[in-house]
Structure 1
């Protein structure tokens, strides 16, 4: 037993911990591949039917926002006009984001008040905008959820959009604030995300894009925009939460965020506060889904493997220290 508990054994355990991490980093070294690892750890699969719940009846495991608004958000919230349609109200509210100006880009990855201030200075990328729209929905009592689509097998190369609930028509309506438009059909009726997705596949010529601003429109023309979304047609997924304010206020997440956004997200995953990813399953994406599910199993196995080795290493170090002190 004494031979098993030695400084050489400790070094061996450390090597056994480091080697898998080095192999993982070697394979998933880019920013988009790190996002793939994050997505895999929270990856789940639902059917189209399971995604079609109404906005006035959220699933019990969907984390809705209930926290009070930060002061910076309260200052910009409008008073909705009587009997105004939710889409019109949200577009009026979104005007505080200076949507008539071109984007400078760059991920913000900060708390919601800082994100709002940066967006008003034309900074931010798509996920920053969707988070702010989530909070606006909470403030205006308009149900909102966040979709994303990927172009690389549910990895980090993708885009995020919102969908708001119209209580009058009992329909979800797609809104891409970052790229400055929402889609409508040939009767000029706003479309849901899944209607938009399906029409891209069937006949994209029947989709019209209503621009929020020509300056802020994210593409050269409508055809380029539709090509962009068509490329991600089989990789749509829902983020299963809209509680961005509560997320920012979680003490462990706040502490980790001061060190690194990657550490912040890992901590959020481990304490169960990071939103679950719900991929829409269909025949054309099952191979990508299977790849992500295998990656999820591997990552969680690696996590518990690291925890086990760390406990063993800690026990060995304590034993060696006690043994050394007893000799002196």
Structure 2
């Protein structure tokens, strides 16, 4: 036993821990590929029908926001007009984001109060905007959820959008605040995300885009916008949470976030606080889904492999240092 517990054995275990991590990073080294790894760890599959629950009946597993508004958010919340429909109300609220001013972009990756302040200074990318729309929905009692679509097999090359619930019309309404529009059909009725997706495939000429501002529409024209979303038509997915405030306030996530955003996300995934990704399964994307499910299995096996070796290494180091202190 004494021979097994040695400094050389500790070095061997350290090498066994480092080698698979190095191999993994060498294959997934870019930012979008690192996002693929994150997405794989929380990857799940649902049908289109399973995503169509009404906004007043969120699934029990969906992490809904319950926290109080931070002061910086509460200060900008408008007084709701009881007669206004949810889309009108949300667009009035979203006006505080200065949607008529051109944006300089760049991911913010901060708490909701900081994100709001940065967006008002024309910073931020799509996921920052969806985060704030989630918070506005909570503040205005408008059910809201976040969708995304990918262009690289559910990796980091993609886009995020919101969907808000109209209780009176009993329908979800797609809203892309970052790119500055929402889609309507030929009858001028706002479309849901899946209606938009299905119409893109069937006949895109039936889709009209209502611009929030001529200055901040994210494309040269409607045709370019529809081409963009068409490329991701088989990679739509739901984030199974809208509790952005509660996420920010979680003590472990706060602590990890003070070190690194990557560590923050890893801690959130391991602790079960990171939202689950629900990919919409269809015949044309099963190969992409299978790839992500295999990657998910491999990553969780690697995680437990690393955990077991880390515990073994810790026990070995404690034993070695105890021996040294006794000899001294």
Measured against the shorter chain, the TM-score band is: over 0.9
Equivalents in 2 of 1:81, 1:318: separation in Å? 64
Report how far residue 327 of structure 1 moved.
Answer: 3.0
Equivalents in 2 of 1:318, 1:63: separation in Å? 40
Listed as ranges, the matches of 1:74-153 within 5 Å are 74-153=74-153
Report how far residue 82 of structure 1 moved.
Answer: 2.7
Listed as ranges, the matches of 1:222-237 within 5 Å are 222-237=222-237
Point out the more displaced range, 43-52 or 1-10: 1-10
Report how far residue 171 of structure 1 moved.
Answer: 0.2
1:196 counterpart residue number: 196
Equivalents in 2 of 1:259, 1:226: separation in Å? 40
2:265 counterpart residue number: 265
Equivalents in 1 of 2:303, 2:323: separation in Å? 30
Equivalents in 1 of 2:159, 2:321: separation in Å? 52
Report how far residue 81 of structure 1 moved.
Answer: 1.7
Point out the more displaced range, 1-10 or 224-233: 1-10
- Unaligned residue ranges in structure 2 (runs of 5+): none
Equivalents in 1 of 2:323, 2:73: separation in Å? 58
1:208 counterpart residue number: 208
2:15 counterpart residue number: 15
Equivalents in 2 of 1:168, 1:28: separation in Å? 46
Report how far residue 6 of structure 1 moved.
Answer: 0.8
Report how far residue 154 of structure 1 moved.
Answer: 0.1
- TM (norm. structure 1) is 0.99
Report how far residue 38 of structure 1 moved.
Answer: 0.3
Report how far residue 157 of structure 1 moved.
Answer: 0.2
Equivalents in 2 of 1:73, 1:13: separation in Å? 49
Listed as ranges, the matches of 1:305-324 within 5 Å are 305-324=305-324
Equivalents in 2 of 1:305, 1:233: separation in Å? 36
Cα deviations by residue, 1:36-88 (Å, 9 ceiling, x for unpaired): 00000000000011100000000000010010001111111111223110000
Equivalents in 2 of 1:7, 1:212: separation in Å? 65
Listed as ranges, the matches of 1:210-289 within 5 Å are 210-289=210-289
Report how far residue 92 of structure 1 moved.
Answer: 0.5
Equivalents in 2 of 1:321, 1:187: separation in Å? 76
**Structure 2 residue matching 1:203: 3-state secondary structure:** helix
1:161 counterpart residue number: 161
Equivalents in 2 of 1:221, 1:141: separation in Å? 33
Report how far residue 256 of structure 1 moved.
Answer: 1.1
1:52 counterpart residue number: 52
Equivalents in 1 of 2:187, 2:52: separation in Å? 22
**Structure 2 residue matching 1:274: 3-state secondary structure:** coil
1:4 counterpart residue number: 4
- Unaligned residue ranges in structure 1 (runs of 5+): none
2:65 counterpart residue number: 65
Equivalents in 1 of 2:272, 2:281: separation in Å? 23
Give the CA RMSD over aligned residues.
0.7
Report how far residue 140 of structure 1 moved.
Answer: 0.2
